[in-house]
Amino acid sequence: FEIFNLDMKAGDSLKIKGRISEDTDGFVVNLGHSSSDLALHFNPRFNESVIVCNSKCSKAWQQEHRDNHLCFSKGSTIKLIIEFLADKFQVKLPDGHEVEFPNRHCYDKITYMSVKGGFRVTSFKL
């Protein structure tokens, strides 16, 4: 699932609903300008019971941030809300916990989104 003409500006929220596969090790939601320039790489990993967030600049990964609050499981249907603020991203998890990640590239607009791995998007709204 990839979108190349997303028009997400600072202050916008993105709601993503979907189902997590029964047999997955994890999934990824990417936001940025392209697959090689990502402002937010949101990667829940079931095999490690962790959510890894990172950013990518000119195909190079930066310092990852790990959050041990994995509140959903394989086979479940979930809703994620990603708030794009001027200085950071806030990802609201289904139980209300928030994962914060800095807007390291100081982007004021996000044009690229992808969802990969064991997550089937049923709806999304900007």
pLDDT, tens digit, 9 for 90 and up, residues 9-37 = 999 999 999 999 999 999 999 999 999 99
- As a whole number, mean pLDDT of residues 103-114 equals 96
Burial of residue 106 (CB within 10 Å: 0-12, 13-18, 19+) is exposed
In this prediction, what percent of the chain has a pLDDT beyond 90? Answer: 99
- What confidence score (pLDDT) does residue 42 get? 98
Using alpha carbons, select from 41, 88, 86, 46 the residue that is nearest to residue 60: 41
CATH code of the domain covering residue 13: 2.60.120.200
**Type of residue at 89:** F
- Supply the pTM of this predicted model: 0.96
**Tokens for 80?**
């994620």
Number of domains into which the chain is organized: 1
Domain enclosing residue 34, as ranges: 2-125
